[in-house]
Amino acid sequence: MKSEKEKMLSGENYSAANKELVKERIHAKKLLYKINVTEYWMNKSTRKLIAELLSNSKNVVHIEPPFHCDYGYNIECGENVFFNVNCVVLDSMKVTIGSNVLFGPGVHIYTASHPLNKLERQNTEIAKPVNIGDDCWIGGQVVICPGVTIGSGSVIGAGSVVTKDIPENCLAVGNPAKVIRKLNENNEL
């Protein structure tokens, strides 16, 4: 029989009220408190806290507080990833972020979702992974929904809601986000 954590990580309905999951979220919140309140700017201590929080990421991740996530260990970042202020990553499932990715202020990434059936929704959640390729720029206030993949080199315009996959080297904007054009070799607009 699978644990609730195993169910969560495999994309099955799971109970977020499970003691193990609650304990892991509390651990993340304690680290986030230090990052968001105690330190509040990037220094040696903050880098150590970020490395502990994002334990499956490379060591070159820059976060401008405040930042929020559920677990931290489900966020896997490549090199040179930048999160601007007020970013939220609901990482019940794996969030894979390539290298050289920029997130504008207030970007939200959601892996967590809820069953459509009202009775199931009362006791369980469900999650789907999010993948973001290398060299992407995600504009301010973008929402990336569960199960979405954004291809390398793509740009998502500010305020967009990404509900479906975006191919590589594209400019996508709107709610819902739609590809409005391919970007050239240098990804110039």
- β-partners of residue 164 are none
pTM for this entry: 0.94
Distance CA 86, CA 143 (A): 12
pLDDT one-digit tens code per residue, 60-117: 789 999 999 999 999 999 999 999 999 999 999 999 999 999 999 999 999 999 999 9
pLDDT one-digit tens code per residue, 106-155: 999 999 999 999 999 999 999 999 999 999 999 999 999 999 999 999 99
Q: How many residues does the chain have?
A: 189
Question: Is 27 annotated in the active site?
Answer: no
- The gap from C-alpha 46 to its chain's centroid, in whole angstroms, comes to 19
Catalytic, out of 62, 68, 108, 114: 114
The full 3-state SS of 75-98, as one line of letters, equals EEECCCEEECCCEEEECCCCEEEC
